[in-house]
Structure 1
């Protein structure tokens, strides 16, 4: 994909650290939550050292990482619930109450044929329960990549009882992914690129915070022992959009008067200690 558009701008080593700066971990083995960060600390706090040397950031995940972490679980749970319901319908009326969690675990502990035999099923009903068990087993695997996760989702639904056509299953998954771009949740911001060598598509995720000592941030392409190096700066419009979304995620929520009473009591008690 060749696109000339970019949300970032280049920086110089003489530019001070600012809100919107994009940091890259020097350690190539850094986790996805620490590999790339965007600085949230306000410029005035940085200029006046109000941050006490701690720079607050949010992580930037590749689009595949974001979809795997934030979109796949919902799709998997929706499909899994359908398969669990199919298994639950096969339980005898006199069976004790079994939780969904236990039903999800059962096919991973016993072979589908053993479960069918234990339930005394035969014919079409046995085939449906066996298919549901196989689908549960597929979705219980932990995918390493987005491609793995999508394949498991498709295979589990294609092999399920009364399956939809494969094309329709794929369309449902793809539409869910597309919606994450066109109508992203309030806790994420899509960025097509974050630096000259990082243009594969990213999401800044606003519910996860990282703090980095400012002394461990190199302002240029320094590959010394420092933990992070600045690789670019978001353009002001995207920095402001990021901060605005972050504020909306964590905006103040009214608290009950009982909370305020207890808070004031603690304050008064602390004051009495030093009289």
Structure 2
């Protein structure tokens, strides 16, 4: 069974005086509505990779709370594909699964735990081969951590194409840079793509540029990153972010995912208050996911 074609997700203006008083119109690109089980950029990135698997097992990588692992497992269940998740943290083996990994297992994903040193070297050919052998997945199609590779970036280009001429700035939360790389390539003249990294390190500019090089042969589109809104790193939040997310949910009736979406929306408000966007700007925020149950 092949992945079904994606339909454009809706773009909806919201009334929010915190943006409006600065002359900025906020719109939400509801990629969380793109698929009932595989939401937003996860599905956009997985579709071309699952097609490339051509029925072979799919192996991918992630931490104990990886949304990418959950999305891949759900895709495998829906499409009848065998999936294997290589999970960072040998110390997790033998322990009860957390809710995220339990969902992966319930969707049929076979989990293989590995030590953190080997996990860090997983891009090295010898280490990757050893991990695949240990996981019993030597003939599998490999999808990188977070799902970002050249195929995924080209898959995310459609996101920018759906927004051509519809917003001056389009913002997206970033983990690996793949969605930003594709989004920026799909936008039209005069539009800018803004990435909000959700983990610290300051490495995403180079990663995003490298992904565009592999996908398109060079830099595409007008894009930039705003660091400083990661709340201490991936998977971390703060009481202030939680309060912001709850308030946004009450204002707009939108369930706000905390690790990616809340950080982006909070960053956009701070940047708006700093005058980062000229009056008259229509600012589109890509809602890449929703809270997992």
Question: Shorter-chain-normalised TM-score: which range?
Answer: under 0.3
Q: TM-score, normalised by structure 1?
A: 0.24
> Greater CA radius of gyration, 1 or 2?
1
> Relative CO higher for 1 or 2, CA cutoff 8 Å, sep ≥ 6?
1
Q: TM-score, normalised by structure 2?
A: 0.23
